[in-house]
Amino acid sequence: MGRAVSGRVVRVPSFAKINLGLEVLGTRQDGYHELRTIFQTIDLRDDVELRGGGRDITVVCGHPAVPDGPANLAARAAHELRRYAKRTDGVEIRITKRIPVAGGLGGGSSNAAAVLMGLDRMWRLGLGPAGLHPLARRIGADVPFFLVGGTALGLGRGDEVYPLHRQVRAHVVVADPGRPISTAAVFRRLDRSLTPRENSHTIFRFVSRDLEGEGPSFPILANDLETAALEEAPDLADQVRRIRGILVREGAVSASLSGSGSSFFGLFDGPQRARRACAALGAEGFSAFRGRTLSLDQYRGAWRQSLGHEGRGTR
């Protein structure tokens, strides 16, 4: 992206995530759900450009499904940080959208984290990820993860984030059925059949293998939201069955819905299998992305490249 900071212009990448596994343990007293999840950043990304000036906070995005008002998490992030820093600066937030909207890949939350990090740099606040974390938690449950990145354990609402020692390095294929699903609607449907539980150990077994120095055991992971998501959007069931079948046939070591859907991903241990899977999905009429997981170091490196240098960029 070149140099990211040019006076009143900051450009930052905004990466997607997948959930390698997700457990819903019950409903909390604050109305949210108690979760355990394994987050993973991937190199599918939006681009966010911040242009300082005036007093207003505005969002510009060419995607028709992206809101341009207070409902946009990127705008909320700018308002929250401006209020916290006791500033009156305005900013125009330009989002180039590539991450599917409402697809379970965290695009809105990632955009919000990018705005927090970018404005922290533009306004020279010096808060960094740790200082921004309390603000991120107020904006959305997934936003704190995007201040960290890589392979990480998420607890609580998903906003308590702990990087894993062994970072997953794999090729990834993401299929987008093009059918947005409301996260809130999926959780409401799940609540109708949810039995509170504290003894689900799948995620912790995965983490224990990491701590013991063993390789990742993807087959033990599952997404508790998948059944509810497909009940909420029954027209997706056949598409998901076909997508999963293609990914498994081509050798995916893991194939699952991401978050509350509707995006579906497969992990592969080599580029050739991922390439074949992506081609097979395209031949069946699905929109598919092929890329790589991003480790903690790679994610931090992308931030450093974007925010670590000052200079005359291109306006």
Catalytic residues: 17, 142
Tokens of 51: 């242009």
- Cα(220)–Cα(33) distance, integer angstroms: 22
Q: At what angle do helices 107-122 and 128-139 cross, to 10 degrees?
A: 140
Tokens 């081609």 sit at which residue? 279
Burial of 301 (0-12, 13-18, 19+ CB in 10 A): middle
